[in-house]
Amino acid sequence: MDGSDIFELSIRSQNELRELVGTPHQAVVKKSVAQLDERTQDFISMSPLVFISTSSAEGKCDVSPRGDQPGFVHILDERRLMIPEKPGNRRGDSMFNILSNPHAGLLFLIPGLHEVLRINGRACVVKTADVMPKWPANQEPPLLSVVVEVEECFIHCSRALNKSQIWDVDTWPSKENLPSAAEMFQAHLKINGYTLKE
């Protein structure tokens, strides 16, 4: 089949989709809370990596990672957390999306743990010093941070990470067989007709 026709096969309604996926158990529905309880805070404090998903007002989506030492995401209170924005490539995709569509989804991981923590909520971009004027002495305070006010918070089952064997070192491909990020970067520049000057 021609790939251009694939959207003609797409499911069009919530009812049609629900008939195919079924109805979730009440325990799955009720596990979502709108707060950061003690156990959730412990999970976040041990996570060195979170993926943040955003979309613009036009629906342009983005998912990008944020990582540092465990505890780099700050719990402000039972409803709000803050993710520091460290200096990077200056694209600012997540932050610009939040300016036009103030919502974000977060996915927290802990190495070796197959369950992940999902948080969805209202988001904003702040000057870090306005929210946390006192910063840990051993850390460089970032200029900007993303604050998320929790609307949904729940633990996600281990199936995906179990199936992927992501934490099983024996299943990892050898380094010489891994894709080259530098080659991909150069190839994509070439597609767009841009040559990086040395």
Answer whether residue 146 is part of any domain: yes
Answer whether residue 59 is part of any domain: yes
Domain count, the chain: 1
Answer whether residue 194 is part of any domain: no
Q: Give dist(CA 194, CA 186) in Å, integer.
A: 9
Taking only the tens place, the pLDDT of each residue in 102-112 is 999 999 999 99
Q: Which of 29-33, 37-41, 121-125, 163-167 has the lowest mean pLDDT?
A: 29-33
Percent of the chain with pLDDT over 90: 81
Residue among 123, 147, 128 nearest 54 (CA) = 123
- The total number of residues shown for the chain amounts to 198
Task: Over range 130-141, report the average pLDDT.
Answer: 85
Answer whether residue 180 is part of any domain: no
Q: Give dist(CA 166, CA 156) in Å, integer.
A: 16
Answer whether residue 5 is part of any domain: no
* CA angle, residues 77, 80, 81, in degrees to nearest 5: 100
Predicted pLDDT at 2 = 60
Taking only the tens place, the pLDDT of each residue in 77-102 is 999 999 999 888 889 999 999 999 99
Taking only the tens place, the pLDDT of each residue in 152-181 is 999 999 999 999 999 999 999 999 999 999
Confidence of residue 46 (pLDDT cuts 50, 70, 90): very high
R_g of the chain, CA atoms, integer Å: 20
Answer whether residue 88 is part of any domain: yes
Predicted pLDDT at 71 = 93
CATH at 42:
2.30.110.10
Residue among 42, 67, 62 nearest 104 (CA) = 62
Percent of the chain with pLDDT over 70: 98
Task: Give the residues across from 81 on adjacent strands.
Answer: 75, 148
Q: Give dist(CA 18, CA 35) in Å, integer.
A: 28
Predicted pLDDT at 30 = 86
Q: In the predicted model, what is the mean pLDDT of the chain?
A: 93
Q: Which residues have a Cβ under 8 Å from the Cβ of 158 and sit 6 or more positions away?
A: 114, 115
Answer whether residue 177 is part of any domain: no
Predicted pLDDT at 3 = 59
Task: Over range 169-197, report the average pLDDT.
Answer: 91
Domain with 51, as residue range(s), is 11-169
Answer whether residue 53 is part of any domain: yes
Task: Over range 7-29, report the average pLDDT.
Answer: 90
- pLDDT for 140 beyond 90: no
- pLDDT for 1 beyond 80: no
